[in-house]
Amino acid sequence: MAFDKYFREELSFLKTEGQHYSELKPHLSAFLDGKHADPDVERLLEGFAFLTSRLREKLDDDFPELTHSMINMLWPNYLRPFPSTTIVEFTPLDNILARKKELEAGIKVAGYADESGVLCQFKTCRALEIYPIERIKVFAEQSLDQSIIRLQFKTHGEISLDSFITNSLTFFIGESGYVSEMLYFWMHHFLSKIDISIGDQVLNIPLESLQSEGFSEEEGILPYPKNVYQGYRVLHEYLVYPDAFLFFKLLNLEHYFKHCSESQFTLNFYFNKALPSDITISDKNFRLYCTPAINLFEHDAEPINLDGLRSEYRVISSSQTPLHYEIFSIQNVRGWGPADNKKNSGPSNERVYYPFESFQHEQARALHQKALYYRTRVRENTIDNALDHFISFSRSDELQHIGTNETISIELLCSNRFVPLELGKGDINICSDQEPSFVSVRNITEPSVPLHPAVDDSLLWSLISNLSLNYVSLLSKESLKTIIKAYDFRGLNDRQAQKITEKKIDEGVISIDTSPVDRVYRGLPIRGIHSTLVLNGDAFSSEGDLFLFAKVLSCFFSLYASINSFHELTVINTNNNERYEFKAQLGSQPLI
């Protein structure tokens, strides 16, 4: 949209100055003066305004050639869109499954969009363990000062529980909203006891067996490079798709079912505070075999004819249906050309191009290999509301390719752009050919809106400056606000979402104080940092919303802490003076 502004300003300037000049030179008024102006001169002025607008845009574009290269090295996902995401539920088929089966992350599922007829492809983000167990009932019992949530289960075909091994059960609390947020809050803050009822036996389960999901590296939604700081991933995914964190897992269940001939059992969760009266638990809560799924799939770009006559080439995902594809990332780049480097002679040979920002330069030089690199640039396309990708090439044997063409093949990771918004609940119900036959699948939430990053904005410089923050400087109110705003993709695309986030960080974050503390870990003293974060509950939609926000920040701070150190967080809600204590977590950042 900035280009439109520049064009209007330049054209207005030319017309205004043209009118003034025609007053000074009356004999030129037929060419420059208003309604009687020569149409050919008008087109010439418009073309000149267009070119000068491009020049002004280039002068004011904050050097994306520099910022994009730095971001590609340090945090490439910031320049990538966040595709549509949903929660899918796998249901084991009756009388087929008799023991545990594992579904690895990356299972392909799909659904047809009603209007366009496009097959929207998704892939699961987390591994699942499927058992011949189904939940048959969920309900709550209340008293004045405590509450109990009971989950009842049975096996398929009434097979005994000891006939297969049950390691863990993962639950999806429910789609984000007041009820799910408050249930998440109760499960992680007011939980006092867990037990399992099997026949006449009641066995206690340690509270440590309950584990949150979404915070570890293997539980991420987007594919991330290994060198990317995981704290930014957690913060980014929370701000864009908080449903991914409304999961928990019960671990180490296998020994409770040994020598057990029963086919039913009940999990009981006891809380030392009664659930709010407006919380109603239904079958939509505490669902088994669910995982986030994201609209990403492999796709080949249109071949590029590398003739050396242009500085960069546009990467086209599909020339036939461009609105059905959006590039997420470039995976591999290969070239084919004449083996003897002479025009139209010899068989074709394949060679691989590497990202220019990679660390292949010294290795290629040491091995006396040809230097073959590519660089990518992302630009915003305001006409199609999309991101255009451009690629440029660097070849050490460029002189040998004068007069010859090289065919470039590019492997992409793509999404279906905005097409998944045509899908509703239950529409993603197709399993890929590689999918096991013992389950069915359906999405239980509507696909989210795809989000674009700010690729031509001064926000990139703000992001780069944030990368220089050390651990201590990060633990300040202003630095925390800056970080959250930078990674709020929903706020960049939706004004209403931006207001919600701004309210949380501007009105919600009151203060943050830090102090060094010492703890003994495995017999050794370790120095870490304790932070006290004061939050205003009125800035959040619910106390559960505040608690999840605080839990994400606790993970973010701990991942930012250095190795051989730790971080622990205390959060105070000013509305009710409630304190939320988050356990000390060891850091993961290298000191150098």
311-328 pLDDT tens trace:
899 999 998 888 899 999
What's the 3-state SS for 305-347? EECCCCCCEEECCCCCCHHHCEEEEEEEEEEEEECCCCCCCCC
Whole-number Å distance between alpha carbons of 318 and 412 = 11
Model confidence at 471: pLDDT above 90? no
Closest CA to 238 of 512, 453, 584, 548: 548
Residue 221 pLDDT: 94
In the structure encoding, which two tokens stand for residue 89, read together? 């539920």
pLDDT at position 591: 41
**Strand pairing report for 191-198 and 201-205:** antiparallel
Condensed to tens digits (0 to 9), the pLDDT of residues 340-357 reads 544 444 446 889 999 887
Is the pLDDT reported for residue 299 higher than 70? Answer: yes
Q: What is the pLDDT of residue 459?
A: 61
The string of pLDDT tens digits covering residues 383-442 is 777 889 999 998 888 777 777 889 999 999 999 999 999 999 999 999 876 667 889 999
- Predicted TM-score (pTM) of this structure: 0.86
Instruction: Write down the pLDDT at residue 564.
Output: 76
Alpha helices by DSSP H, listed for 170-323, are 178-185, 230-240
Task: Tell me: pLDDT of 146 over 60.
Answer: yes
- The pLDDT value given to residue 465: 66
Q: Which whole number is the average pLDDT over 173-184?
A: 92
Distance from C-alpha of 57 to C-alpha of 552, rounded to nearest angstrom? 38
- Summary mean pLDDT of the chain: 85
Percentage of the chain beyond pLDDT 90 is 45
Per-residue pLDDT band for 566 (boundaries 50, 70, 90) equals confident
Q: How many whole angstroms separate alpha carbon 308 and alpha carbon 392?
A: 10
Question: How far is it, in rounded angstroms, from Cα 315 to Cα 328?
Answer: 12
> What pLDDT, on a 0 to 100 scale, did the predictor assign at position 493?
79
Q: Which of 359, 349, 421 is nearest to 385 (CA)?
A: 421
State the pLDDT at residue 64.
65
pLDDT grade for 284, boundaries at 50, 70 and 90: very high
- The residue that leads in pLDDT, 520 or 228, is 520
What is the mean predicted confidence (pLDDT) over 49-53?
85
pLDDT of residue 592: 37
Answer whether 436's CB lies under 8 Å from 100's CB.
Answer: no
Q: What is the pLDDT of residues 99-145, one digit of tens each?
A: 889 999 999 999 999 888 899 999 999 999 999 999 999 999 988 88
pLDDT at 151 over 70: yes
pLDDT of res. 72:
76
Q: Cα separation of 45 and 38, whole Å?
A: 11
C-alpha 211/C-alpha 247 separation (Å) is: 9
Residue 487 in this model has a pLDDT that exceeds 70: yes
Mean pLDDT, to the nearest integer, of 9-33?
71
Is it the case that residue 338 has pLDDT exceeding 80?
no
What is the distance between the alpha carbons of residues 374 and 327, in angstroms, rounded to a whole number? 16
Q: Give 37's pLDDT tier (boundaries 50, 70, 90).
A: low
228 close to 307: Cβ distance less than 8 angstroms = no
Report pLDDT for 212.
Answer: 95
pLDDT at 364: 67
In whole angstroms, what is the distance from residue 573 CA to residue 461 CA? 33
Q: Which of 75-79, 256-260, 449-453 has the lowest mean pLDDT?
A: 75-79
Residue 524 predicted with pLDDT over 90: no
Lowest mean per-residue pLDDT among 205-209, 258-262, 335-339, 419-423: 335-339
The tokens describing 550, both together, are: 């605080």
Give the side-chain half-sphere CA count within 13 A for 291: 27
